[in-house]
Amino acid sequence: MKLLRVFVLASAVALVAACSTAPTKSSAPPPPAAPAAPNIAGNWIITVESQFGTNDSTMTVKQDGANFSGTMTSPQGTVPYTGSLAGSDVKFGFSFNAQGTDLRIDYTGTTDGTTMNGKVIIGTFGEGKFKGRRQ
């Protein structure tokens, strides 16, 4: 009988302990890390096709993580620009004065680190396509 009481008491304690503990939530896995920005530092040839024709520029790139800057040189001159990377998405642009009119040029596209392609917006004058290749 004493053994039966010990068994019943031990079972009751185990049942109370099991019921009193809250179920633990499994923690959700962390979100996937954003893809690393490709290395685009160096010299590039950028070709723009627009209603103004096809024009080549050289672009120097100094990269600091997801941000980059440098200069673009074309027959019209040299201008500084700034840009950013988000994974393979690339954005950069600059402003300059074209015969007394301030003009903003913005590039958006993708890069794999050796090529770029996308769209260029030429102020209020329209848009075109661009392709870039590392030199």
Q: Read off the CATH number of the domain in which 112 is found.
A: 2.40.128.120
Quick check: is 101 in a domain?
yes
Report if residue 18 sits inside a domain.
no
Instruction: Tell me how far the alpha carbon of residue 22 is from its chain's centroid.
Output: 42
What pLDDT does 33 receive? 66
pLDDT > 90 fraction of the chain, expressed in percent and rounded: 64
Q: What mean pLDDT is reported for the chain? A: 85
Q: What is the pLDDT of residue 36?
A: 76
Sequence-separated (6 or more) residues with CB below 8 Å from residue 30: none
Q: Is the model's pLDDT at 12 over the cut of 70?
A: no
As for how many domains the chain has, the answer is 1
Predicted local distance difference test score (pLDDT) of residue 61: 98
Supply the range of the domain harboring residue 125. Answer: 45-134
Q: Report the pLDDT value the prediction gives residue 16, as an integer from 0 to 100.
A: 47
Residue 102 maps to a domain = yes
